[in-house]
Structure 1
Amino acid sequence: MLQTLKTYKIQIIMALTVLVLYAAFAYDLERSDFVRLITLFAGSFYLSFKLIQLLRFNFKTLVILGVLARLIFIIALPNLSQDYFRFLWDGRLLAKGLSPYLLTPNQWVTSGEIPINQSQVLLDGMSGLSRQHFSNYPPVNQFFFWLSGILSGSSILGGVLVLRLCIIAADLGILWIGRKLLEKLKLPEHQIFWYFLNPFIIIELTGNLHFEGVMLFFLIASIYLLIRGNWLWSAVLMGCSISVKLLPLLLLPVLFQYLIKSSSSENRISKIYNPFLKKPLQSIWFLIRYYSVALLIFAVSFAPFLNAELLNHFTDTIALWFQKFEFNASIYYIVRWIGFQVKGYNIIGSAGKMLPVIVIAILLLFTFLRKNNSPNRLLCVLLFSASIYFAFSTTVHPWYIATPLLLSVFTKYRYALIWSAAVILSYAAYQADNVHENLVLVALEYSAVASYLIWELINNKALKLFS
């Protein structure tokens, strides 16, 4: 025991320091104190980075450290995001048998009959935007909110605890599936810790209760099962992933070539029984089955909430993210600047409609012109597809980067790791009294990410730094 302590003395000190930094982050930090925020984050990021390098062959130790880091936050109220107030609001409505999609919180106030406990506390905690808009969280995401409403009663901390345990469970699932997928791809298994031990993930998901991790668990499990040849459960889990966050819906077309390639194994089997069946027809039938199951699971998840107003409320709220909201954008901010020079006003209304069309066009090019017929190629194109989507988005909250970060773990590219570190600069916008972005810091963030990506593309390999 003493010999072990002496051997790993430096690593133990580093690990304990990281846990102390997380404790300070969880219980002694105001979002508006940007200097303290970035200092704590930078310290935890550097130490975690070094620990992964030093202990990359000691899988169990890194797992324990990742779990302990998450448990540090277990009874902390999120301090970088107000979104959890809306999660609890929706969950308590669901616990009462009421749909969160029918009325906005402000409309409930106007009605004079708010049927949930601590309604004023939750309303005061929400942002003004959240209060005046309909819920935009899909049904599987709402299931976890419902759990918090059922299990926590009238305790806000209890509701936070339920949501946090769900997110931690999802991260453990990603760790388990991710290790298997890395083994399948013949990649070093320690690469999963670039996600699991990343302070950005621990702080934004476990700490601030963002459900990207739950969406990513379903997504990565779906991809793993697809690679294993289990298309049916892959499609089911893909549908669940879409019903947590809508992003995987945009990635579905990119699976096209891999699904066609996967159908060839079925072709060989079925031709024993029907030698006259044409391969193109079977490939199309395979595609139809996969996409139909995934989309059916997503559609059926809305069944408990169906009414005449649901579609309008949900789609209108989603559209707001493209045509009204703007935060930490990259290409869009350049387009916006050009709009001011040419038109003299903010062109988000028209740009918000145009940019998604450009994204879809690029993804279709990836779908049909790039050979995505192997697991490694598929994961690379999924990574670039998600990255392009966020590059053209009008709103890129820090926790959104969890998707390219996790996908990058299964590729040779590491620019998303740089992004997960640089995105913390966006918190400079949150001041004590208002939100005001520092565009110099936004430019610094994306310059760092773009520069590293260009370096990787030119050199066709990652820095040894991340090996």
Structure 2
Amino acid sequence: MFLKLYKTPLLLVLASLLFYAVFAYHLLRTDYVKLLILYAGLFFLFYKLVLLLKGNIKLLSWFAFGFRVVFILAIPNLSQDFYRFIWDGRMLLEGYNPYLFTVASFIGNNEFPVAQAQELYEGMGVLNAGHFSNYPPLNQLCFVIAGVFSGSSILGSAMVMRLLIIAADFGTLHFGKKLLEKLNLPVYLIFWYVLNPFIIIELTGNLHFEGVMIFFLIWSLYLLHIGKWQFAAVVLGLSVSVKLIPLIILPLYWQWFTSKNNDDDEMLKQVQHDEKEIATSLTPRNDAINGMTKLISFYAIVFITIIALFLPFYSSEFITNYTDTVALWFNNFEFNASLYYIARAIGYTFRGYNEIAVIGSAIPIIVIAFVLLLTFFRTNRNTVQLITAMVLALSFYFFTTTTVHPWYIATLLILSVFTTYKFPLVWSFVIILSYLAYVNVDKADKSENLWIIALEYAIVYGVFIWEVFFKKKEALKKTSLFNG
């Protein structure tokens, strides 16, 4: 009876398992046609599975777990970053501060401070080896755990990190479901993230720790929504201590705390009724002074958490090395950008060189200005409005920055689950085109293929513009016609 009832979904699952196995163990990064076919096939299968089984959350959860298990014994084939993760973890276990030494500084002097040092150096590449570590302390803890359980095997270390990322994904599933329920949104929406091939491949497969950062971010939003804002601040600090990206959205919390007519007040009353154990922590936010006090306290807890985690690594050299390394993402690196490439082309017409030095320095200022506009001039009073503002803020950042690696948009994708926007879901499909930017890598021309990048962003911007500027107008027009 089960096989008869779920015949089509099971066929889709078996096909997905086969595709994931080929992706994990029989794919080279330069097999562009194979890469596109596998990814497009997986995305189609994922889309059909969610639509067919959106009423069976338990089954979708099991499938999400099963697809991740396929990658357990795989070495990442689309990213080299994990070699640096392993190096940093083993360095810490040897007593070295990874923020004070580059990999190249050891290898160049024929020093091999960790097991498999030469293999790790060759795996991560010269560019990565030449810079100081930029991974925050809680991320470093994950690397250390991998070193503790597998200090002399690259595959073993990769397996440990993969298990940590999988655990984080299921933490995101747990709190994402709970938040959707509190917001009276369909629970199956969380699977646009958890079951998405983009997330499974980039996080579980390629070992990017955005998944751990996202787990803490979603947990924090859930805690904030039910009124436990102090605990939410601590967890948000943990999120920043995995990846720095949540720092961009911090100003957006202002209205949520200070608004006199917070739309979540009714929700808070319901939580007080349903969950008596937290009733004492849910105080009205109708008083502006009280709200401002909470806001300042919230920010203080976030930054105290972050500082406390960075403190063991503190030194004057650490401050210099870390800030210089983070600045590289604005002033040195270029990959899969959109508006920046247009600005760069315009700059070349009258300056002719080193546009990233000028434009890259201006990008943080422009992004901060845009986030402040969203903070003070857009309504962000309830949780959905707050998360929607986060989606818009991060979108603006990714649209203007100099570097957009595929795994960066995972944060955008998870936040969009709680909004009406679907352009991040579309982007999670077309982002695979960014890997084709290396199509010239074996030729004399080492630059990116800008036609491919233009195709990617034409699709993303098209959906974005329609959803942000036209979709709402069409809905209002239909409503007025219906009422008329």
TM-score band, normalised by the shorter chain? over 0.9
SS in structure 2 at match of 1:98:
coil
Which residue, out of 149, 154, 165, partners 1:167?
165
The 5 A counterparts of 1:206-217 are 206-217=204-215
- Residue of structure 2 in register with 1:390 after alignment: 398
Q: TM-score, normalised by structure 1?
A: 0.94
Instruction: Give the conservation status (yes or no) of the 8 Å contact 1:263–1:282.
Output: no
Q: Within the alignment, does 1:29 sit opposite 2:27 as a pair?
A: yes
Equivalent-residue separation in structure 2 for 1:460 and 1:422 (angstroms): 24
Equivalent-residue separation in structure 1 for 2:129 and 2:442 (angstroms): 18
Backbone CA RMSD of aligned residues: 2.1
Tell me, which stretches of 5 or more residues in structure 1 are unaligned? 269-277
> Which amino acid is the alignment partner of residue 413 of structure 1?
Y
- Residue of structure 1 in register with 2:118 after alignment: 120
- Note the C-alpha offset of 1:12: 1.0
Instruction: Give the conservation status (yes or no) of the 8 Å contact 1:412–1:461.
Output: no
- Residue of structure 1 in register with 2:472 after alignment: 460
- Residue of structure 2 in register with 1:444 after alignment: 455
Equivalent-residue separation in structure 1 for 2:403 and 2:432 (angstroms): 15
Which residue, out of 249, 264, 267, partners 1:251?
249
Equivalent-residue separation in structure 2 for 1:253 and 1:9 (angstroms): 49
**Structure 1 residues 461 and 201: CA distance shift in structure 2, 3 A:** farther
Instruction: Give the conservation status (yes or no) of the 8 Å contact 1:263–1:286.
Output: no
Instruction: Give the conservation status (yes or no) of the 8 Å contact 2:331–2:360.
Output: yes
SS in structure 2 at match of 1:103:
coil
Which residue, out of 371, 378, 383, partners 2:386?
378
Equivalent-residue separation in structure 1 for 2:474 and 2:261 (angstroms): 33
Instruction: Give the conservation status (yes or no) of the 8 Å contact 1:321–1:394.
Output: yes
Which residue, out of 342, 349, 361, partners 1:341?
349
Q: Percent identity?
A: 50
Tell me, which stretches of 5 or more residues in structure 2 are unaligned? 270-285, 476-484
Q: Within the alignment, does 1:360 sit opposite 2:358 as a pair?
A: no
Residue deviations 1:343-376 (CA, integer Å, cap 9, x gap): 1224001100111111110000000111101111
Equivalent-residue separation in structure 2 for 1:263 and 1:444 (angstroms): 44
- Note the C-alpha offset of 1:279: 3.8
The 5 A counterparts of 1:390-409 are 390-409=398-417
- Residue of structure 1 in register with 2:478 after alignment: none
- Note the C-alpha offset of 1:8: 1.9
Which residue, out of 189, 192, 195, partners 1:194?
192
- Residue of structure 2 in register with 1:229 after alignment: 227
- Residue of structure 2 in register with 1:275 after alignment: none
SS in structure 1 at match of 2:111:
coil
Equivalent-residue separation in structure 2 for 1:6 and 1:437 (angstroms): 49
> Which amino acid is the alignment partner of residue 396 of structure 2?
I
SS in structure 1 at match of 2:108:
helix
- Residue of structure 2 in register with 1:153 after alignment: 151
Equivalent-residue separation in structure 1 for 2:416 and 2:473 (angstroms): 13
- Residue of structure 1 in register with 2:88 after alignment: 90
Instruction: Give the conservation status (yes or no) of the 8 Å contact 1:48–1:199.
Output: yes
Instruction: Give the conservation status (yes or no) of the 8 Å contact 2:146–2:157.
Output: yes
Instruction: Give the conservation status (yes or no) of the 8 Å contact 2:259–2:288.
Output: no
**Structure 1 residues 110 and 263: CA distance shift in structure 2, 3 A:** farther
Q: Within the alignment, does 1:107 sit opposite 2:119 as a pair?
A: no
Residue deviations 1:60-97 (CA, integer Å, cap 9, x gap): 11111110000000010000000000000001001112
Q: Within the alignment, does 1:56 sit opposite 2:67 as a pair?
A: no
- Note the C-alpha offset of 1:7: 2.5
Which residue, out of 14, 17, 39, partners 1:19?
17
Equivalent-residue separation in structure 2 for 1:14 and 1:246 (angstroms): 37
- Note the C-alpha offset of 1:430: 2.7
> Which amino acid is the alignment partner of residue 456 of structure 1?
E
- Residue of structure 2 in register with 1:271 after alignment: none
Instruction: Give the conservation status (yes or no) of the 8 Å contact 1:263–1:283.
Output: no
Q: Within the alignment, does 1:184 sit opposite 2:198 as a pair?
A: no
Q: Within the alignment, does 1:424 sit opposite 2:432 as a pair?
A: yes
- Note the C-alpha offset of 1:436: 3.5
Equivalent-residue separation in structure 2 for 1:461 and 1:227 (angstroms): 29
- Residue of structure 2 in register with 1:273 after alignment: none
Residue deviations 1:249-273 (CA, integer Å, cap 9, x gap): 11100111102249988xx9xxxxx
Instruction: Give the conservation status (yes or no) of the 8 Å contact 1:322–1:393.
Output: yes
- Residue of structure 1 in register with 2:330 after alignment: 322
- Residue of structure 1 in register with 2:77 after alignment: 79
- Note the C-alpha offset of 1:204: 0.2
Which residue, out of 238, 241, 257, partners 1:240?
238
- Note the C-alpha offset of 1:155: 0.7
Residue deviations 1:12-67 (CA, integer Å, cap 9, x gap): 11110011000000000000111100110000000110110011101111111110
- Note the C-alpha offset of 1:441: 1.1
- Note the C-alpha offset of 1:113: 3.1
- Note the C-alpha offset of 1:111: 4.3
- Note the C-alpha offset of 1:461: 9.1
